[in-house]
Amino acid sequence: MRRVLPLLLAALPLCAQDAALGVRAQGVIPMGDLRDLTDGQVGLGAGVFVEIPVGDTFKLRPTVGGQYFPKKTSASLGGAEVTVSSVDFMVDALWFPGETADQGPYLVVGAGGQMWRVSPTGGTATSHTRLGVSGGLGYQLTPHLGVEARAFWSPIETNLTATGLSLGGVVRF
């Protein structure tokens, strides 16, 4: 967090250039290796962002956030209880095919760094920082409220990849 705070403070002057601060919250549905590791436990995610308009229908959204999958018995770790979490620094690109970026559907793609942590009970926790990517669809309901559905992918270890779907809401201030 000590590294992230200066980045957010450095982004504050962008507010004078029509940038908007916001928050995102989502439910995370694990798939593949991540589903096996968490025994299908649904996770939660949240983040804060600065949304920067680039033209009339394109925006960039640097985001700092994370995901958390509560403690669950993992068959892939021999029945040990495991907690999985990530801290993310992503940059999203939003494209609004309509005439305005204040309302309507949009496409979103993102890429950035994710630090994954796998913590089995009674075992040694492992942390790995990897590239993560995501993409999906969103709908801007009002100039301040939107919803998004995304798919994500990020390798955690050699034989463990985090994939899944996230469904959530976005609030811009």
| Structure tokens belonging to residue 73 | 């018995």
Phi, psi of 103 (to 5 degrees): -160, 145
Name the region of 143 (left: φ>0; alpha: ψ -120 to 50; beta: rest).
alpha
Average pLDDT, the chain: 88
What pairing do the DSSP bridges indicate for beta strands 160-172 and 145-157? antiparallel
Collapsing DSSP states into helix, strand and coil, what is residue 158?
coil
Q: What is the mean pLDDT of residues 54-80?
A: 83
- Give residue 56's identity as a one-letter amino acid code: D
Model confidence at 53: pLDDT above 80: yes
Residue 102 CB coordination number (10 Å):
12
Collapsing DSSP states into helix, strand and coil, what is residue 170?
strand
pLDDT reported for residue 10: 63
pTM of the full structure: 0.83
| Structure tokens belonging to residue 49 | 């962002």
Instruction: Say how many Å lie between the first and final Cα of the chain, rounded.
Output: 22
Hey, which residues does 63 pair with through a beta bridge?
Answer: 49, 90
Confidence class for position 75, pLDDT limits 50, 70, 90? low
Confidence class for position 56, pLDDT limits 50, 70, 90? confident
